[in-house]
C-alpha cells in the first residue's frame, strides 16, 4: 500500500483488504455504498443529495438521506443474508465515509476518486482520515 494511504487508513493490512476496481471520478464512497456509479452524493452545492433532506454535513442529515432509500438503524454486527448494511464513519460528528457490507461479511469502500477496495471488517478503514463507524444502517433485500 502507498505510504499516504497507509497513514490515512492505518488499520489496513495486506491481510484485511484488496483492491476491487480501478480509480474513477464518476462516483464517491456514498454513491458506491448505495450501488450508484454515475454521480457523487454529498450535501454540497453541485452534488447529488435527496430532495427534502437538509444539505448538512451531519450524521442526522446522512441518516435521513439513507432513509430515503429504505435504510434504518440495525442491531447487531453479524451478517444477515436478508439485510444490506452500510456503515457511516465520522469524526467529531462530521460524516466522512460510507462503506457497504458484501455477501459473506466483507465490506466495500470507494476511496474518494481513487480505487474501490474490499475490507474484512467495517472497522478496517477506521482510525484515520475517515474517523470511526458511528452508525450501521440496513435495509431488507428484495425477495
pLDDT tens digits, residue range 125-134? 999 999 999 9
Q: Given this model, what pLDDT does residue 5 score?
A: 61
- The pLDDT value given to residue 25: 87
Asked whether residue 40 carries a pLDDT value surpassing 90, the answer given is yes
Please say if the pLDDT value at position 142 is more than 90.
no
Domain boundaries, the chain: 3-140
For residue 32, is it left (φ>0), alpha (ψ between -120 and 50) or beta?
Answer: alpha
Q: What is the pLDDT of residues 57-91, one digit of tens each?
A: 999 999 999 999 999 999 777 778 889 999 999 99
User: How many angstroms separate the CA atoms of 2 and 82, rounded?
Assistant: 36
Residues 6+ positions from 103 with CB-CB distance below 8 Å: 79, 81
CB 140 within 8 A of CB 82: yes
Query: What share of the chain in percent tops pLDDT 90?
Result: 77
CB-count exposure of residue 18 (10 Å: 0-12, 13-18, 19+): exposed
Residue 92 CA from chain centroid, whole number: 17
pLDDT band at 7 (very low <50, low <70, confident <90, very high): confident
- Indicate the range of 22-26, 86-90, 98-102 predicted with least confidence: 22-26
Amino acid at each position: 500500500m502507498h505510504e499516504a494511504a497507509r497513514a490515512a487508513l492505518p488499520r489496513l493490512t495486506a491481510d484485511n483488504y484488496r483492491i476491487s476496481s480501478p480509480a474513477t471520478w464518476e462516483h464517491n464512497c456514498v454513491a458506491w455504498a448505495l450501488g450508484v456509479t454515475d454521480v457523487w452524493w454529498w450535501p454540497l452545492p453541485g452534488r447529488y443529495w435527496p430532495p427534502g433532506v437538509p444539505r448538512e454535513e451531519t450524521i442526522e442529515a446522512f441518516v435521513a438521506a439513507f432513509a430515503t432509500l429504505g435504510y434504518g438503524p440495525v442491531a447487531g454486527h453479524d451478517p444477515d443474508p436478508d439485510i444490506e448494511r452500510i456503515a457511516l464513519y465520522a469524526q467529531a460528528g462530521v460524516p466522512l465515509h460510507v462503506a457497504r457490507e458484501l455477501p459473506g461479511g466483507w465490506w466495500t469502500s470507494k476511496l474518494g476518486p481513487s480505487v474501490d477496495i474490499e475490507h474484512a471488517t467495517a472497522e478496517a478503514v477506521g482510525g484515520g482520515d475517515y474517523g470511526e463507524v458511528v452508525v450501521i444502517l440496513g435495509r431488507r433485500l428484495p425477495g
